Amino acid sequence: MMSARSQTALIVLVLIASVGLVAWSARGPGPRATSWTEDQNGPELLAPQPIPGGTPIEWETSLAKGLKKAAKAGKPVMIDFYGVWCSWCRKLDKDTFPDARVQGAAADFICVKVDVDEDVESARKHDASSLPTTVFLDSAGEEIHRVTGYQPPAAFAESIAVAKAKI
């Protein structure tokens, strides 16, 4: 048999747990974690709209050709590793790359788009295991900077500036 003191302690513990459970359940569903497989239509962010009016980025679709072109011109390379199934990659294409600030900053680079499902070897070589991944190389093909994940236009333009400063 339990002592009176033990019974009182048990009752207090049960009351505290009950209050905590009621408070936790009253908070509502709250945010939940999602993955790219849950939303194939693309993530929605409360971000400023891109600034139109720049010169569209000219994308190479072959990394080998892009690297050759960069070596010949002495220009650095910006590689966008993407997947057609990647909602954040589509958001980068829709909101970030059309932005005039990004287009202006990218003009000094040879820009290459690499579909990771089509060019698995390049994705492995440049460790593009999370998408989107943007890798910046100098004209000799050495990595100087990388961005993993989505960035809105202003932040991405800053990332390009960081890469330029390392050349």
Summarised one tens digit per residue, pLDDT across range 34-92 is 333 334 444 444 444 556 667 889 999 999 999 999 999 999 999 999 999 999 999 99
In a domain, 110, yes or no: yes
pLDDT in tens, 123-148: 999 999 999 999 999 999 999 999 99
94 is written with which tokens?
């829709």
Phi-psi region of 141 (alpha: psi -120 to 50; beta: other; left: phi over 0): left
Q: What is the CATH number of the domain that holds 75?
A: 3.40.30.10
Give the pLDDT of residue 20.
63
In a domain, 46, yes or no: no
In a domain, 3, yes or no: no
pTM, to two decimals = 0.69
- When divided into structural domains, the chain yields a total of 1
List 77's β-bridge partners, or say none.
110, 137
pLDDT in tens, 27-50: 555 443 333 333 444 444 444 455
List 163's β-bridge partners, or say none.
none
In a domain, 160, yes or no: yes
